[in-house]
Amino acid sequence: MDDARDRPEEGRVASANLREAASTGVAAIVAGDAAVYLRARKDPFDFVFLDAEKEDYAAYLDVVVPLLSPGGVLVADNLLSHERT
Ligand SMILES: C[S@@+](CC[C@H](N)C(=O)[O-])C[C@H]1O[C@@H](n2cnc3c(N)ncnc32)[C@H](O)[C@@H]1O
């Protein structure tokens, strides 16, 4: 079974990369409830990587899509690997 908890080194590398990107102004790290943050946000996104609980994706789409700038890109992780059978 593929489980990210079995690959802690990948998580550490990803976290370090995100911290580095944030320190150079390419990304911002926001702690807290993503749904609350997104509902309050007014500034558009150029790029969104959605990797949330799969049952919440429809709700996130409702708030994220209106926040995409023209030509903005939304990438969603693992939609098909968690589909209901
Ligand atoms: C599918 S996992 C993605 C994990 C991520 N790729 C990583 O490496 O940490 C979804 C993550 O979103 C978090 N999460 C779920 N609901 C959230 C919310 N409302 N606000 C912020 N994080 C949330 C969960 O705790 C979980 O760590």
- Concatenated DSSP letters for 25-85? TS-----S-HHHHHHH--S-EEEEEE-S-GGGHHHHHHHHGGGEEEEEEEEES-TTTT---
Residue carrying structure tokens 């320190």: 23
Amino acid 21 reads A
Task: Give nearest CA residue, ligand 1 atom 14.
Answer: 52
Residue carrying structure tokens 């911290």: 19
pTM: 0.78
Q: Which atom of ligand 1 is nearest to the CA of 52?
A: 10
- Cα–Cα distance, 9 to 16 (Å, whole number): 11
In the reported structure, the alpha carbon of residue 29 is separated from the centroid of ligand 1 by a whole-number distance in angstroms of 13
Model confidence pLDDT, tens digit, residues 26-77: 888 888 999 999 999 999 999 999 999 888 999 999 999 999 999 999 999 8
**Over 80: is that where the pLDDT of 3 sits?**
no
**Over 90: is that where the pLDDT of 6 sits?**
no
- Cα–Cα distance, 13 to 83 (Å, whole number): 28
**Over 60: is that where the pLDDT of 85 sits?**
no
Q: Which atom of ligand 1 is nearest to the CA of 37?
A: 20
**Over 90: is that where the pLDDT of 8 sits?**
no
Annotated domain spans of the chain: 1-30, 32-85
**Over 90: is that where the pLDDT of 83 sits?**
no
Task: Give nearest CA residue, ligand 1 atom 1.
Answer: 52
